[in-house]
Each structure stands twice: as structure tokens, then as C-alpha cells.
Structure 1
Amino acid sequence: MTDLSLDAVDHAFETAVRGRLDAIEALLQDTAAAQTAFVTDAAQHLLNAGGKRFRPLLVVLASQLHEGADASAIDRAAVVMELTHVASLYHDDVMDEAQVRRGVPSANSRWDNTVAIMVGDFLFARASSTVATLGTEYVYLQAETFARLVQGQIAETRGAQPGDDPLEHYLGVIADKTGSLIAASARFGGMVCGSSPEVLDALAAYGEEVGAVFQLSDDLLDIDSDSSGKRPGTDLREGVATLPVLMLRRNAEACDARLLDLTSRPLTDEDEVAEALALLRAHPVMDAARAEVARRADLAKAHLAVLPQGPARAGLEALCDQVANRSR
């Protein structure tokens, strides 16, 4: 996501943001270094595999709402958010028995589950020691965010319970697993530059919605991503019900029985995957799902109305548009 173009917003601003992100990348590597080469290699494994650096970008953009933010504080705040995110990926891969992450073997498949879990813990510890240098209010927010991440993972693992609305349950998981950390990233940036409580709350609300847009647009890309370079149908192969499928199930009486069957179970036959993708792409539910992503993107941008005008606010608006437009 760091390929976001801010040149139309302000060329000098874009140059400054990219320079800050370069400094954050170097600090990420340093902070993930350990006392032994093995732990350093394992801890930097996913960092070196790339990633969108979406959360550091949010920290940087929000930190530019007011002049005078300390560059070191910006970098440390961004590192806390990214390391918390990456640490959670190590744990997620163990729980999901994932074999690949960011195009490389997952840590659990390259080493084993124990190493992956312990390396995730190591990165959480590095995030915690870094956030302690920023102040107690940062420590509190990171701890509360981490609690939401864990609760979201537990809710996802248990699944919707009897009496739960499956779509609302799914959106709640997204809010806790994705929205919470993105909201905290935006708030961290605002805190670094001394934003008012009103602006901090607006940044957090914006981040919550952008987090949902981020994940829900991924749901659509998994179905309609032939032009993006991504292999479509991963969720269908795994039998994971995402936004379009859950919306289908809400109106099952009006849905083709074959499509309901194909989206009710993991698909191991590639012909069935292709059939399911074709049926979904032709179904009105895709337009309905895109409309939901657009609606939430509009909500996100509406929260920015209280922010001061300038390139930082324009950058946050542009970032939201880019995330939403991936699925169009």
C-alpha cells in the first residue's frame, strides 16, 4: 500500500512521507534483531517478505496534521503498530496451519509451530518495549488494541454461535482483528503531533471503517481478481465464508441452489472453483457487496471532516479511496 501516490496532493509532502517510511523500515529491522542469528532470522522473516506497511503509513499521515511532530516518536509509533501486526501473523499462521505468507514459506512451515509462536511473542515484546518509550497513554492504547486482536481471533476460531447473525459476527471479527489496529495506528499518529481529543476520536473512527474497507475489499478481490495478479478463489478453496457469500446466505431463498452448494463447503476440485467464481461474478450480490464497501469508505472519509485542511487530511482521504477502489 506504500505505492499510494500523493503527488497529486503535494509533491513535497509525498517526498517527506516516503522519507519517513524509509526510516521506519530501517528501524523495524533494528528492532526485530535479537541476540542470536537464528532468532533474528526468524523474527525478520516476514518483515523481509514485504507487506503493505499500511499501518506505518497511517501513523505517518496522521502525524502530519500539525507541524512539529518529533521524527523519532513518529518512527517508534509506527514500529509499534507494525510489529504488533506482524507478531499476530506468526500466531495466525500457526492457528490456520498456513503454508505460505506474503509469497514465502510461513514461519511455522519453515521451522515449526513452537518457533513461530515464540517468535511472535518476541516481536510482541519488542513492540511493548518500544511503546514504553512513548508514554503511558501509548502503552494503554497498545494493550487495549492487543486485547481486541486476541478477542477477535478467539471469536473467529469459535465461529458464529447459535443465535448469532453470521454476517454480523464476521463484521465483528473484522473490527477486532483488523479495524482495531488500523484505528490505533491513526490515533497514534494524531497523538504524536498533539491533536485534540476530537481529532483523535475522529482518526480512530476513520481507522475502524478503513479497516473494514481493507478486509472487505480483499474479500471481493478473492473472487474478482484476475486482473490484479492474485490467484482468485482462495477463500472458496478453504471453505471460508466472506462478505459476498454471507450476503448470499442472507437471501438464500432467492439464490441458485448450485451456487449455495458450491459456497457451503471447501472446494478441492478446480473445475468447481472456476464454476463458483463464474456464478459469483455474474450474481447481483457482487454489486451489493461493492456498494457496502463504498458505503463504509464514505463513512470513513466523513469522519475526517473535523481534521484541519491540508495535505495530511487529503492523504488520508486518498488512502481510503485507494483501499476501496481495489475491489472495483
Structure 2
Amino acid sequence: MQRVEREIARLIQEIDYDVVTHLFEKLQGGKRLRAKLILKIATSSEQAPLLGAIVELVHGASLLHDDVIDEATLRRGTPSVNATDGSKTAVMLGDILYSKAFSELVLFDREIAKVVSSSVTALSKGEMMDVKMSQNFNDDAQIYLDMLYLKTATLIEAAAQGAALLEGKDAQKHALYGKNLGLSFQIIDDILDITADEATLGKPAMNDFVEGKCTLPYIYLYHALNTPEQERLRRLHAKVLDKEETLWIKEKMQEHKSIEKSFALAQKLSNEAMQAVKEDAGLIEILETMIKRSY
């Protein structure tokens, strides 16, 4: 990981603009899940740290754009770039990170470059779907999972698949692993948005629903409610919730086990991922650690 960090620092330094260097420091502190995954899979490749750095730049760019779209003021518990320096600056910084990542990606084998670059198209499409879906109450779990795959899981899938290609391992099995890891990781995040407190999240609890996002627990809850209750949940969608409304949602989720149902799907996806790479203890450990983040 030290080599990944050095590669990231080198790429940022090559941009040769102090403003970018300063702003990029605000993005530090993430889990570096994608880079760690690449290093776990491509253990002997000299190119693995650079590929990890490229994928982390792509991820950072997507977060910058995501915060602008969501008008988020916090990122990992600290003020977001769009909050401190404005949305225009955040978008341009994201564009710089994307373009720098692509300029380095051309150094890799064509198939690896295509896997990673295609995932960036997919995650941008997923972001657009997310924006469209937040305009109305979505009660279709499959539509939500399709969006989740594009927006979140596809880059993790690409990291795992690209690393497998780099190392000469089974690319399809590792792609399945990455896809399911990404989906289950985000489902756990959706759960934590409801069950964790603001200090843990680095943002207000139940913020997803306030922003108009109907994540799995809300979808499962909706289908368990009677008609008047369904109408009430719809009315609360995309509005600031008071204490009584928050309590009602949480009590109904507890009554109908919406959180447990969501976690069961995350566990199922995680188990499928484990089966795909059952002989790789390091990758299984990543999954187990991710699942333990739950409520």
C-alpha cells in the first residue's frame, strides 16, 4: 500500500498545480478497498501498485462528482470539496483525476484498460440512474440493485478482474467476487445509514431517504406495510424527517425485519463471492471484515 500511495502522490505531482495537490489532500482517509483488492490478487505484478493508484483516482473523481450531485457538505466526517471550494471546483478536480487516470491506464494491456475504462462509463450511467430514481419513490428492489451494480459495484468488479488479468488468474471468477463484494458492501452501507449514529457515519443518520434514495430496507419495508402505511412512507420520502417520523420508520423496520432481510441478501452475495475464490484466504478475509461492519 505504501507503493500505491507513492504512485498516487506521483500522479498528483505530475499534474503540476498546487491547487489540485491541496484539494486532493481533502480526499485522503478512505479505505482504499479497491487498491487493497488489486494488491491481494496481483501479488507478484510490478504494475499492481500503479493499477491500484489509477483505480483510486477514478474512485476519488466519482466521489467528487457524487458530492456535487447530492449537494453533500460532508465526506468521511470532514467538509467536502464542494462545500469548501464550490461545486465548479469539485467538478473540475474530478475531471482532472479522471483524465489523469486514463492517461496512465493506456500503459496497461488493452484488455485490462478496457475493463477499467468500461467500468467508468458504467458508474457514470449508474450515477445518472440514481439521480433519476431519487425524483420518485422507487419500490422495485431489482431496479435498485441494477443501479447499485453500475454505480458502486462495477469499479470494484473491474479492480478484481483487472488484477486477475494482470496476474494470469481466472478473470471471471474474480469479476464475480468483485461484483458481489461491491453489492454487499453497499447494502451494508445502506443498513448503517439507518442503524448507525451521525458520529459514526460522518453525516446525518437516515440521510439516504431524506435525499430521495429508496434503499433496500425502505423497499422491503414498503412491501410489508398496509396501504395507509405505504402512503405515509411515500409522503415522508425526500423530506427532512422529525423525531416522530424517524422513530415510526425505525419501529416499522424493526417490526417487519427490513434490516434483517437486507442483511440476508448481503450475506448471500458475500457467500457466493467466497465460493468463487474459496482457496484465497486473503480475499475471504476482506469479505468477512466487510460483513462485520453491519448493525
- Give me the TM-score of the superposition, normalised by structure 1: 0.81
Q: How far does the alpha carbon of each residue in 1:157-183 deviate from its partner, in whole angstroms, 9 at most, with x for none?
A: 122899x86321111111001110000
Equivalence map 1:144-293=2 (5 Å): 144-159=118-133, 166-195=140-169, 199-226=170-197, 229-230=200-201, 232-253=205-226, 256=229, 260=233, 264-293=237-266
8 Å CA contact 1:55–1:78 kept in 2: the answer is yes
Inter-partner Cα distance in structure 2 for 1:125 and 1:255: 50
8 Å CA contact 2:139–2:214 kept in 1: the answer is no
Local SS of the residue matching 1:326: coil
Q: How far does the alpha carbon of each residue in 1:262-315 deviate from its partner, in whole angstroms, 9 at most, with x for none?
A: 75342342443244334423432222122111111111112224xxx3xxx111
The amino acid that maps onto 1:221 is: L
8 Å CA contact 1:210–1:300 kept in 2: the answer is yes
Partner of 1:43: 24
Name stretches of at least 5 consecutive residues in structure 2 with no aligned partner: none
8 Å CA contact 1:108–1:115 kept in 2: the answer is yes
Inter-partner Cα distance in structure 1 for 2:232 and 2:267: 25
Inter-partner Cα distance in structure 2 for 1:265 and 1:165: 14
Q: How far does the alpha carbon of each residue in 1:123-172 deviate from its partner, in whole angstroms, 9 at most, with x for none?
A: 0111112212222222211221111011111111122899x863211111
* Candidates 261, 280, 300, aligned match of 2:273: 300
Q: CA deviation at 1:25?
A: 1.6
Inter-partner Cα distance in structure 2 for 1:106 and 1:44: 11
Local SS of the residue matching 2:195: coil
Inter-partner Cα distance in structure 1 for 2:23 and 2:197: 33
Local SS of the residue matching 1:157: helix
8 Å CA contact 1:206–1:304 kept in 2: the answer is yes
8 Å CA contact 1:239–1:267 kept in 2: the answer is no
Q: CA deviation at 1:36?
A: 2.0
Local SS of the residue matching 1:119: helix
Inter-partner Cα distance in structure 2 for 1:228 and 1:323: 19
Local SS of the residue matching 2:103: helix
Q: CA deviation at 1:256?
A: 4.8
Inter-partner Cα distance in structure 2 for 1:94 and 1:257: 31
Change (3 A) 1:290 1:96: same
8 Å CA contact 1:81–1:127 kept in 2: the answer is yes
Partner of 1:13: none
Change (3 A) 1:255 1:304: farther
8 Å CA contact 1:252–1:260 kept in 2: the answer is no
Partner of 1:63: 42
- Give me the TM-score of the superposition, normalised by structure 2: 0.89
Partner of 2:63: 89
Q: How far does the alpha carbon of each residue in 1:54-104 deviate from its partner, in whole angstroms, 9 at most, with x for none?
A: 10111011113xxxx233x01011011111111111111111111111222
Kindly report the root-mean-square deviation, in angstroms, between the aligned alpha carbons of the 2 structures: 2.5
Name stretches of at least 5 consecutive residues in structure 1 with no aligned partner: 1-20
8 Å CA contact 1:29–1:44 kept in 2: the answer is no
Change (3 A) 1:238 1:156: closer
8 Å CA contact 2:112–2:166 kept in 1: the answer is no
> Among the aligned pairs, what percent are the same residue?
27
Equivalence map 1:16-165=2 (5 Å): 21-33=1-13, 34-46=15-27, 48=28, 50-64=29-43, 69-71=44-46, 73-159=47-133
Change (3 A) 1:286 1:263: farther
Paired residues, what number?
291
User: Which ranges of 4 or more aligned residues in structure 1 deviate by more than 4 Å?
Assistant: 254-259
